[in-house]
Structure 1
Amino acid sequence: MRRLGLIGGMSAESTTTYYQLLNQGVRARLGGLHSAELLLWSVDFAPIAQLQAAGDWARAGAQLAQAAHVLERAGAEAVLICANTMHLEADEVAAAISVPLIHIGDATAQALTALEVKRPLLLATRFTMEETFYRDRLEHYGLEPMIPGEGARERLHAIIYDELCQGVIDVGSRTAVMAIIERGRAEGADSVIFGCTELGLLLEADAVGLPVVDSALAHVNAALAFALADQSPQGRAATPNR
């Protein structure tokens, strides 16, 4: 089994999900008492979020690059940034290490391609929806990502930072996001991306009414494929449940 290095804390809520899903996936594949070999660097998200808000992506990226370098030195054979937004600095992080950076955008795009959809509605932080780094990655796979209108983008951003990242699950926010999805469907979306690793804490994919790719789960599945590439399954392979 290959050892994975996780850059987490962005937020701690979704990093917990990564840890659970990775271990569930290894146990489902290998059986018994098996669990994932993981190294975790969990950042303090508040200073990172301040740098994001100030547009100082280079300083935020430098912190993640340092974390990735330390994880590699500690024995990580691949690194994951356990967040979507900080993939804006993915190239800088990848340049700091000699092991693979498993990119959440690639994992999400490949999962969408497997569903044979074309126009996914991207739900995420304002940075991920409005900057081009993520949508460009999806378009490379032939997808035509859609984003909500400006007011909806602001609402989503507030729900993510003010609620989900702080462990708050609000029924009214769930209703608001479902309304955003319905507007997207009316405008031609044929699928939905949970493009924030916390959105799966708020919404059940089965309740959305369109095919859904949860970026956190897609990222975990890509990481499991890497970690277990040389393993012989004991029984039927399985996908971890969100």
Structure 2
Amino acid sequence: MTSPFHVDIQNSKAPFMRSEKRPLPQKTIGVLGGMSNQATSEYYRLLNRKLNDRLDGWDNGEIVIVSVNFGNIEYFVRNDRWDEAHAYLSDKVDRLERAGADVVICVSNTMHRVMEPIMAERTTPFIHITDATGNAIRKAGTSRVGLLGTMPVMKSPELRGRYQEGFGVEIVTPTQADMEIVDRIIFNELVRGELRTDSKREYLRVVSELRERGAEGVILGCTEIFLLMAQQDLPGFPVFDTTELHVQAAVDFALE
């Protein structure tokens, strides 16, 4: 017999069948945020918007957020202190789990470097941002894509391998000089909510050079980049927004 709460997860617009039973059953999404607060607020907004699209009426999400101090994250990343980052974020995940999270997502591509081993030690489901993105790239039939993100993301052999081995996707990264520009704009501007026309122009130039080197699309591999640049800025060239794709995967999980 079909459940009154069945949803077709193949159709992100399909609403739940309405029911008088309350509270409405759904999983609690645990968000590890603060990396940055800009991304975290967008995750919260998008999660609730997409959940309301599916649930209709007045319903949205059941969400727990633990927000970290971005100053700590910036220090760990800049100084290559990944063991300290592991310990710091592990404690925050403990708090999410104690708060009743049924699934955990991390709002930072960069910090997946430590989140992956942290969550491998636990039973709480974890939605990896690369997997959500890789599935979309494969579905689009694209096999060679450019990648924009922080320096650790763009230089990560583990991330490159995850895309290649898991999804058959070859990653193309900017030149060293352009990686420095992309990274600087993220840390000095985007995480502070500063959106500059000249910086957008620089990002579009970097993407243009990636296209000339054979990229068939581009991954916005930092969860703030979509605030500066989006698909409408690159007509005819696929843009894979990790924020949007990650949020959609979390919504599907919460309502499955």
Pick the TM interval, shorter chain: over 0.9
1:153 Cα deviation after fit = 0.1
> What SS is found at the alignment partner of 1:7?
strand
TM-score when scaled to structure 1? 0.93
1:63 Cα deviation after fit = 1.3
State yes or no: 1:220 paired with 2:236.
no
1:140-179 alignment, distance < 5 Å: 140=165, 141-179=167-205
Q: Which letter maps to 1:203?
A: M
1:122 aligns to what? 147
Match among 224, 227, 236 for residue 201 of structure 1: 227
1:86 aligns to what? 111
Maintained 8 Å contact 1:69/1:96: no
**Whole-Å separation in 2 of the counterparts to 1:204 and 1:107:** 18
| Higher RCO, 1 vs 2 (CA within 8 Å, ≥6 residues apart) | 1
**Whole-Å separation in 2 of the counterparts to 1:22 and 1:96:** 26
1:95 aligns to what? 120
Q: Which letter maps to 1:162?
A: N
Maintained 8 Å contact 2:220/2:242: yes
State yes or no: 1:53 paired with 2:75.
no
Larger Rg: 2
Maintained 8 Å contact 1:119/1:144: yes
Match among 35, 48, 56 for residue 10 of structure 1: 35
Structure 1 unpaired stretches of 5+: 230-242
1:133 aligns to what? 158
Cα deviation 1:89-141 (Å, max 9, x = unaligned): 12332035321111001011011111110111000001100021221111121
Maintained 8 Å contact 2:89/2:115: no
Q: Which letter maps to 1:26?
A: L
Cα deviation 1:68-108 (Å, max 9, x = unaligned): 12111110001001110000112332035321111001011
**Whole-Å separation in 2 of the counterparts to 1:139 and 1:124:** 17
Percent identity over paired residues = 35
Maintained 8 Å contact 1:68/1:97: no
> What SS is found at the alignment partner of 1:184?
helix
Q: Which letter maps to 2:112?
A: H
1:58 Cα deviation after fit = 1.1
TM-score when scaled to structure 2? 0.88
Match among 96, 105, 112 for residue 71 of structure 1: 96
> What SS is found at the alignment partner of 2:143?
coil
Structure 2 unpaired stretches of 5+: 1-25
State yes or no: 1:182 paired with 2:208.
yes
